[in-house]
Structure 1
Amino acid sequence: MVKVVEKTFMVVGEKNRGLFKKYAEAVLKAAQLFLNRESEIPFSSGIEVTVYEQPKQQNQLEGTFYVGVLVNEKVSDLPTGMEYIGKYQK
Protein backbone atom coordinates (compact mmCIF):
# COMPACT_ATOMS: atom_id res chain seq x y z
CA MET A 1 0.00 0.00 0.00
CA VAL A 2 1.24 3.49 -0.84
CA LYS A 3 0.82 6.30 1.65
CA VAL A 4 0.13 9.67 0.03
CA VAL A 5 1.03 12.83 1.94
CA GLU A 6 0.78 16.49 1.05
CA LYS A 7 3.77 18.72 1.67
CA THR A 8 4.71 22.24 0.74
CA PHE A 9 8.25 22.60 -0.52
CA MET A 10 10.16 25.83 -0.64
CA VAL A 11 13.20 25.91 -2.89
CA VAL A 12 15.80 28.52 -3.73
CA GLY A 13 17.47 27.64 -7.00
CA GLU A 14 18.88 28.65 -10.33
CA LYS A 15 17.10 28.18 -13.65
CA ASN A 16 19.05 26.46 -16.43
CA ARG A 17 18.51 25.09 -19.93
CA GLY A 18 20.10 22.12 -21.61
CA LEU A 19 19.83 19.50 -24.31
CA PHE A 20 17.77 16.53 -23.18
CA LYS A 21 20.36 14.09 -24.49
CA LYS A 22 22.96 15.78 -22.26
CA TYR A 23 20.74 16.45 -19.22
CA ALA A 24 22.78 14.20 -16.93
CA GLU A 25 25.96 16.18 -17.51
CA ALA A 26 24.23 19.58 -17.61
CA VAL A 27 22.36 19.02 -14.33
CA LEU A 28 25.46 17.71 -12.56
CA LYS A 29 27.58 20.67 -13.69
CA ALA A 30 24.88 23.21 -12.77
CA ALA A 31 24.42 21.57 -9.35
CA GLN A 32 28.15 21.69 -8.63
CA LEU A 33 28.31 25.38 -9.53
CA PHE A 34 25.19 26.10 -7.48
CA LEU A 35 26.54 24.37 -4.39
CA ASN A 36 29.56 26.68 -4.46
CA ARG A 37 27.05 29.47 -3.65
CA GLU A 38 24.88 27.65 -1.11
CA SER A 39 26.34 29.68 1.77
CA GLU A 40 24.63 32.77 0.27
CA ILE A 41 21.17 31.28 0.90
CA PRO A 42 19.54 32.03 4.25
CA PHE A 43 17.46 29.25 5.86
CA SER A 44 19.05 26.53 3.66
CA SER A 45 18.24 23.02 4.85
CA GLY A 46 21.26 21.62 3.01
CA ILE A 47 19.01 19.27 1.03
CA GLU A 48 19.72 19.53 -2.69
CA VAL A 49 16.90 19.30 -5.23
CA THR A 50 16.51 19.29 -8.99
CA VAL A 51 13.26 20.08 -10.77
CA TYR A 52 13.29 19.38 -14.47
CA GLU A 53 11.09 19.52 -17.53
CA GLN A 54 10.29 16.35 -19.45
CA PRO A 55 10.12 16.59 -23.26
CA LYS A 56 6.60 17.53 -24.32
CA GLN A 57 7.12 16.43 -27.92
CA GLN A 58 9.38 13.80 -29.45
CA ASN A 59 11.30 16.41 -31.46
CA GLN A 60 11.87 18.79 -28.50
CA LEU A 61 15.64 19.09 -28.08
CA GLU A 62 16.03 21.38 -25.08
CA GLY A 63 14.44 21.69 -21.69
CA THR A 64 14.48 23.81 -18.56
CA PHE A 65 15.62 22.64 -15.14
CA TYR A 66 16.28 24.13 -11.72
CA VAL A 67 18.99 23.14 -9.27
CA GLY A 68 18.67 24.33 -5.70
CA VAL A 69 18.18 23.59 -2.03
CA LEU A 70 15.13 23.27 0.17
CA VAL A 71 14.75 26.19 2.56
CA ASN A 72 13.05 26.20 5.95
CA GLU A 73 11.56 29.69 5.60
CA LYS A 74 10.65 32.04 2.77
CA VAL A 75 13.69 33.91 1.52
CA SER A 76 12.82 37.48 0.58
CA ASP A 77 16.32 38.73 -0.26
CA LEU A 78 17.53 36.31 -2.91
CA PRO A 79 21.14 36.09 -4.07
CA THR A 80 21.76 37.33 -7.62
CA GLY A 81 20.55 34.90 -10.28
CA MET A 82 18.49 32.77 -7.90
CA GLU A 83 14.74 32.27 -7.73
CA TYR A 84 12.29 31.28 -5.00
CA ILE A 85 10.10 28.33 -5.95
CA GLY A 86 7.24 27.39 -3.68
CA LYS A 87 4.11 28.49 -1.96
CA TYR A 88 4.62 30.26 1.31
CA GLN A 89 2.01 29.45 3.96
CA LYS A 90 1.80 31.07 7.39
Structure 2
Amino acid sequence: MQTINRTFQIVGIKGHGAFKNFATEVPEFARQLLHRTREIEHHTNIEIALFEPKWGDDHLEGHYYVGILVKDKPSHVPKGMEYLEVPGTYVWVKGPVEHVDKLYDEVGQWVSEQKLTRDWLSYIVETYHPTENGEDVEVYLPIIDY
Protein backbone atom coordinates (compact mmCIF):
# COMPACT_ATOMS: atom_id res chain seq x y z
CA MET A 1 0.00 0.00 0.00
CA GLN A 2 1.17 3.50 -0.71
CA THR A 3 0.06 7.11 -0.82
CA ILE A 4 -0.13 8.67 -4.29
CA ASN A 5 -1.07 12.03 -5.83
CA ARG A 6 -2.89 11.53 -9.10
CA THR A 7 -5.27 13.23 -11.50
CA PHE A 8 -7.66 10.96 -13.36
CA GLN A 9 -8.88 12.17 -16.76
CA ILE A 10 -12.03 10.34 -17.73
CA VAL A 11 -14.93 10.35 -20.13
CA GLY A 12 -17.92 8.70 -18.56
CA ILE A 13 -21.57 8.62 -17.70
CA LYS A 14 -23.14 9.45 -14.35
CA GLY A 15 -25.43 7.10 -12.47
CA HIS A 16 -27.38 7.33 -9.24
CA GLY A 17 -28.86 4.70 -6.97
CA ALA A 18 -28.95 2.93 -3.64
CA PHE A 19 -25.51 2.07 -2.27
CA LYS A 20 -26.71 -1.49 -1.61
CA ASN A 21 -27.30 -1.94 -5.37
CA PHE A 22 -23.96 -0.56 -6.58
CA ALA A 23 -22.39 -4.04 -6.90
CA THR A 24 -24.88 -5.00 -9.62
CA GLU A 25 -25.88 -1.59 -10.99
CA VAL A 26 -22.40 -0.21 -11.67
CA PRO A 27 -21.13 -3.16 -13.78
CA GLU A 28 -24.32 -3.06 -15.86
CA PHE A 29 -23.92 0.66 -16.42
CA ALA A 30 -20.26 0.07 -17.38
CA ARG A 31 -21.30 -2.50 -20.00
CA GLN A 32 -23.52 0.14 -21.61
CA LEU A 33 -20.60 2.55 -21.77
CA LEU A 34 -18.21 -0.04 -23.21
CA HIS A 35 -20.43 -0.42 -26.28
CA ARG A 36 -19.63 3.24 -27.02
CA THR A 37 -15.87 3.25 -26.38
CA ARG A 38 -15.04 3.86 -30.06
CA GLU A 39 -16.79 7.26 -29.76
CA ILE A 40 -14.27 8.44 -27.14
CA GLU A 41 -11.11 10.21 -28.32
CA HIS A 42 -7.73 9.48 -26.70
CA HIS A 43 -9.08 6.57 -24.63
CA THR A 44 -6.71 4.11 -22.98
CA ASN A 45 -9.03 1.07 -22.81
CA ILE A 46 -8.76 1.24 -19.00
CA GLU A 47 -12.16 1.21 -17.32
CA ILE A 48 -12.72 3.44 -14.31
CA ALA A 49 -15.47 3.98 -11.75
CA LEU A 50 -15.86 6.90 -9.34
CA PHE A 51 -18.01 6.46 -6.25
CA GLU A 52 -19.50 8.98 -3.86
CA PRO A 53 -18.39 7.85 -0.38
CA LYS A 54 -21.05 6.41 1.94
CA TRP A 55 -20.49 8.49 5.07
CA GLY A 56 -23.06 6.93 7.39
CA ASP A 57 -25.83 4.38 7.90
CA ASP A 58 -28.52 6.94 7.02
CA HIS A 59 -26.76 7.82 3.72
CA LEU A 60 -28.66 5.37 1.52
CA GLU A 61 -28.22 6.70 -2.02
CA GLY A 62 -25.32 8.13 -3.93
CA HIS A 63 -23.98 8.79 -7.36
CA TYR A 64 -21.16 7.32 -9.38
CA TYR A 65 -19.49 7.58 -12.75
CA VAL A 66 -18.40 4.77 -15.03
CA GLY A 67 -15.97 5.63 -17.75
CA ILE A 68 -12.75 5.19 -19.63
CA LEU A 69 -9.44 6.82 -18.77
CA VAL A 70 -8.24 9.20 -21.49
CA LYS A 71 -4.72 10.49 -22.21
CA ASP A 72 -5.85 14.01 -23.11
CA LYS A 73 -8.98 16.11 -22.99
CA PRO A 74 -11.05 15.13 -26.03
CA SER A 75 -12.08 17.80 -28.52
CA HIS A 76 -15.55 16.22 -28.58
CA VAL A 77 -17.39 14.46 -25.74
CA PRO A 78 -20.03 11.97 -26.95
CA LYS A 79 -23.68 12.74 -26.28
CA GLY A 80 -24.77 11.74 -22.77
CA MET A 81 -21.19 11.61 -21.45
CA GLU A 82 -19.02 14.00 -19.49
CA TYR A 83 -15.30 14.76 -19.35
CA LEU A 84 -13.91 14.96 -15.81
CA GLU A 85 -10.53 15.67 -14.29
CA VAL A 86 -10.39 14.26 -10.78
CA PRO A 87 -7.27 15.22 -8.81
CA GLY A 88 -6.48 13.95 -5.36
CA THR A 89 -4.28 12.28 -2.81
CA TYR A 90 -5.08 8.61 -2.38
CA VAL A 91 -4.07 5.46 -0.62
CA TRP A 92 -3.63 2.93 -3.41
CA VAL A 93 -3.94 -0.85 -3.41
CA LYS A 94 -4.26 -3.44 -6.19
CA GLY A 95 -5.56 -7.01 -6.30
CA PRO A 96 -7.96 -9.43 -7.97
CA VAL A 97 -11.38 -7.90 -8.57
CA GLU A 98 -13.09 -10.81 -6.81
CA HIS A 99 -11.31 -9.73 -3.59
CA VAL A 100 -12.36 -6.07 -3.81
CA ASP A 101 -14.12 -6.18 -0.41
CA LYS A 102 -10.93 -7.49 1.22
CA LEU A 103 -8.92 -4.74 -0.51
CA TYR A 104 -11.25 -2.10 0.95
CA ASP A 105 -10.87 -3.63 4.43
CA GLU A 106 -7.07 -3.63 4.09
CA VAL A 107 -6.83 -0.07 2.79
CA GLY A 108 -9.22 1.19 5.48
CA GLN A 109 -7.17 -0.49 8.19
CA TRP A 110 -3.92 0.89 6.76
CA VAL A 111 -5.36 4.45 6.66
CA SER A 112 -6.28 4.06 10.34
CA GLU A 113 -2.88 2.60 11.32
CA GLN A 114 -1.02 5.39 9.51
CA LYS A 115 -3.26 7.97 11.24
CA LEU A 116 -4.36 9.38 7.88
CA THR A 117 -7.66 11.24 7.43
CA ARG A 118 -10.23 10.09 4.88
CA ASP A 119 -11.47 12.71 2.44
CA TRP A 120 -15.25 12.19 2.57
CA LEU A 121 -15.89 14.86 -0.08
CA SER A 122 -13.87 13.22 -2.88
CA TYR A 123 -14.65 10.22 -5.03
CA ILE A 124 -13.38 6.74 -4.31
CA VAL A 125 -11.77 5.56 -7.55
CA GLU A 126 -11.46 2.06 -8.99
CA THR A 127 -9.64 1.19 -12.22
CA TYR A 128 -9.93 -2.22 -13.89
CA HIS A 129 -7.12 -4.09 -15.61
CA PRO A 130 -7.53 -7.40 -17.53
CA THR A 131 -5.05 -10.14 -16.60
CA GLU A 132 -4.39 -13.67 -17.87
CA ASN A 133 -6.52 -15.05 -15.03
CA GLY A 134 -9.35 -12.50 -14.95
CA GLU A 135 -9.21 -8.90 -13.84
CA ASP A 136 -7.35 -6.80 -11.29
CA VAL A 137 -8.78 -3.74 -9.62
CA GLU A 138 -6.84 -0.76 -8.34
CA VAL A 139 -8.58 0.99 -5.44
CA TYR A 140 -7.79 4.65 -4.71
CA LEU A 141 -9.19 5.77 -1.35
CA PRO A 142 -9.07 9.59 -1.04
CA ILE A 143 -7.27 11.08 1.93
CA ILE A 144 -6.65 14.63 3.08
CA ASP A 145 -3.09 15.68 2.35
CA TYR A 146 -1.87 18.06 5.05
TM over 0.5: yes
TM-score (norm 1): 0.86
Higher-RCO chain (CA-CA 8 Å, sequence separation at least 6): 1
- Which secondary structure state, in structure 1, belongs to the residue aligned with residue 57 of structure 2? coil
Which is strand-richer, 1 or 2?
Answer: 2
TM-score (norm 2): 0.55
Q: Matched residues in 1 for 2:55 and 2:5: separation? A: 26
| Unaligned 5+ runs, structure 2 | 87-146
Q: Matched residues in 2 for 1:21 and 1:75: separation? A: 33
Could you say which residue in structure 1 is the equivalent of 2:72? 73
Distance 1:48 1:4, change over 3 A: same
Q: Which aligned pairs between 1:34-73 and structure 2 lie closer than 5 A? A: 34-73=33-72
- Which secondary structure state, in structure 2, belongs to the residue aligned with residue 47 of structure 1? strand
- Which secondary structure state, in structure 2, belongs to the residue aligned with residue 86 of structure 1? strand
Mapped pair 1:85 → 2:84: yes
Identity fraction in percent: 38
Q: Which stretch shows the higher mean deviation, 5-14 or 34-43?
A: 5-14
Q: Matched residues in 2 for 1:9 and 1:31: separation? A: 17
Q: Matched residues in 2 for 1:20 and 1:4: separation? A: 26
| Unaligned 5+ runs, structure 1 | none
Which segments of structure 1 move beyond 2 Å, counting only runs of 4 or more?
Answer: 2-8
What is the aligned residue count? 86
Q: Matched residues in 1 for 2:65 and 2:2: separation? A: 27
